[in-house]
Amino acid sequence: DTGVSQDPRHKITKRGQNVTFRCDPISEHNRLYWYRQTLGQGPEFLTYFQNEAQLEKSRLLSDRFSAERPKGSFSTLEIQRTEQGDSAMYLCASSLAGGPSEQFFGPGTRLTVL
C-alpha cells in the first residue's frame, strides 16, 4: 500500500470559482477525515466518514463546503464560490475504526484563492 494520496497537490483558483479535491485512503481503512491547515496553525478538523456515512461536520464547514464518500473508498471535498479565506492546506487522513487507532495523513492539497 502506498499510503493516503491526494489530488491535486496544488490548486490556484480565482475567487468565486468552485474547486474539488480528491482523497484516496489506505485501502483497508474505513474512517476518512478532512482537516484544514492555515499558515502558522495546526490542522483543524472539518469532517469525517465511517465507510460512506458522514458522521460529523465541524462548524468550520460552511454551506459552501460539501464532502462525499460515495462508495466508502475515496472521498471528495468541494468548495463552492471560493473566497480568499479558503486559502489553506487541505489534509486528508484515514484510520481503522473501532478502538484507538492512529490517523495516517496524505500530502495535502494546497489551495490558493486569488
> Does residue 85 bind another protein (CB under 8 A)?
no
CB crowding 56-90: b at 16 or more within 10 Å, else e? ebeeebeeebebebeeeebbebebeebeeebbbbb
> Does residue 55 bind another protein (CB under 8 A)?
yes
> Does residue 31 bind another protein (CB under 8 A)?
yes
Nearer to another protein (CB atom), residue 67 or residue 93: 93
The helix/strand/coil state of 84 is helix
What is the Cα–Cα distance from 114 to 112, expressed in whole angstroms? 6
Among 33, 75, 79, 94, binds another protein (CB under 8 A): 33
Phi and psi torsions of 85, nearest 5°: -70, -10
CB of 64 to another protein, least distance (A): 21
CB of 72 to another protein, least distance (A): 16
Q: Contact residues for another protein (CB under 8 A)?
A: 4, 31, 33, 35, 40-45, 48, 55-56, 91, 93, 95, 99-108, 110
